Structure 1
Amino acid sequence: MPAGPQKYPGASTAQWWQSRWGGDPMEVNTVVWHSTEGTGLPDYAGGSVAPNFTALPDFDAQRLNWHQHFDFDTSSRALANKPGGVETNTLNVCQVEIVGTCDPAAHGKWTVRHLYTPELPDWALRDLAAFARWAHDQHGVPLASGVTFKAYPGSYGANGVRMGAAKWNAFRGHCGHQHVPENDHGDPGLLPMAAILARAGEATGAP
């Protein structure tokens, strides 16, 4: 059985997709970060392409509201996977979607309040760091990355930072959709991963 608590404290399970789509049990050692490229909570096509968690901004309260769709140590469905290649969704990864955009064109056009991943407010960094800290303390996910987060649209497709099979199989820590093999998405763009992990490390005393 997976070790550690499976529900993130305070997360809503109103959109719980594990009972419909199942998933494989894992011992998570990697968090894959996404951006939804929208401003509301997606329904993920009835959960068929859902992550483990969605972080939805509450601008008035200056906080992220967390929605959980699968247990932490259960595979979710937000990554492409090609038959005969490496495993993606089931390779010990927990997936988190940040509601917002990494696309500077969308950021420039949208008139509603939204998160833009290269320019996250301090309260969003705080809450993303708290999640990373919890994943480290409760599940041992390293507070490390070791990959370069590129700005969108340069992060799309063959971007120079997408991992090959061997690196992906050996990876531990935090990466983005833009780094996952067999995928072409470029989210979450220039997410300030180093700042998030530094803040998480300060909170835990972890190196």
Structure 2
Amino acid sequence: MTRTGPQRYPGASTTYWYQDKYGGDAMEVNTVVWHTTEGRSLTDYEGGAIAPNLTAVPDFTHKKLVWYQHFDFDVSSRALAHTGSVATNTLNVVQIEIVGTCDPVAHGKWGSAPHLYTPELPDWVIRDLGAFTKWAHEQHGVPLTSDVTFKAYPASRGPGNGVRMSDAKWLHFSGHCGHQHVPSGNEHGDPGLFPMAAVLAVARGGTVAESLLPEVADRLAHLTESVETLTEKVDALAQRG
């Protein structure tokens, strides 16, 4: 299959290059799958056996993401399970790992040690993720869309998490999703409550501040719903008493 467009993300290091070892299938990518490594530093992905196409590593000193590329953009990588009836790694997807966590337990454990937590990504991370997303759209035609819900971890974990796609939807999907949405034996919940709308807004040309407004409004709505539910429960208990 012809691979259209540039295959290397500008500025990405190929220090950890695994395509020569594992090969991979040629594709025409129409989907980005986002992951988190659940660690604080770049991993070797078991020698590349479970590597994505690219890894974004935070540089907290210079407030930028440092990119490492492991496979060409239009070559299948290896970060998804594929034990079901439909293809995953080879289904026209490019996979991006963000060095950080979606797990609130890990976030609390790491405390003040520098790390990324997907529900609270700094502006400069959203900026750089947006830049990559824009490049993937302009150079490879990946739609600037995502019609899936990014669910907070750990509720996002497991095959029955409520947001994982059916085989049929996955086969026809294009745009942006997370590991938590991929079927065919995948049970991981990363990247948790990922600010997908903000990243896409930046890719479309908006500022980071503008892009975060929908995220803030959505979280306030969820918070309001939770408070109302809790109030109803308290009132019900009071009436019983």
Same fold (TM over 0.5): yes
Corresponding residue for 1:156?
A: 157
Corresponding residue for 2:60?
A: 59
Aligned: 1:190 with 2:182: no
Q: Give aligned pairs, total.
A: 202
Corresponding residue for 1:127?
A: 128
Instruction: Give the whole-Å Cα distance in 2 for the aligned partners of 1:42 and 1:176.
Output: 19
Gaps spanning 5+ residues in structure 2: where?
207-241
Instruction: Give the whole-Å Cα distance in 1 for the aligned partners of 2:32 and 2:43.
Output: 20
> What TM-score do the two structures reach when normalised by structure 2?
0.83
Instruction: Give the whole-Å Cα distance in 2 for the aligned partners of 1:155 and 1:96.
Output: 18
Corresponding residue for 1:143?
A: 144
1:202 corresponds, among 197, 202, 205, to 205
Deviation at 1:82, TM superposition (A): 1.2
Q: Highest relative contact order (Cα 8 Å, sep 6+), 1 or 2?
A: 1
Instruction: Give the whole-Å Cα distance in 2 for the aligned partners of 1:69 and 1:115.
Output: 21
SS at match of 2:135: helix
Instruction: Give the whole-Å Cα distance in 2 for the aligned partners of 1:151 and 1:160.
Output: 12
Deviation at 1:77, TM superposition (A): 0.0
Q: Which runs of 4+ in 1 moved over 6 A?
A: none
Instruction: Give the whole-Å Cα distance in 1 for the aligned partners of 2:202 and 2:128.
Output: 10
Aligned: 1:36 with 2:41: no
Instruction: Give the whole-Å Cα distance in 1 for the aligned partners of 2:124 and 2:201.
Output: 15
Deviation at 1:201, TM superposition (A): 0.7
Q: If you compute each CA radius of gyration, which structure gives the higher value, 1 or 2?
A: 2
1:175 corresponds, among 177, 182, 190, to 177
Instruction: Give the whole-Å Cα distance in 1 for the aligned partners of 2:48 and 2:18.
Output: 5
Corresponding residue for 1:93?
A: 93
Aligned: 1:166 with 2:168: yes
SS at match of 1:161: coil
Return the letter of the residue paired with 1:164: S
> What TM-score do the two structures reach when normalised by structure 1?
0.96
Q: In percent, how many aligned pairs have the same letter?
A: 69
Give the helix-richer structure, 1 or 2: 2
Gaps spanning 5+ residues in structure 1: where?
none
Return the letter of the residue paired with 1:202: G
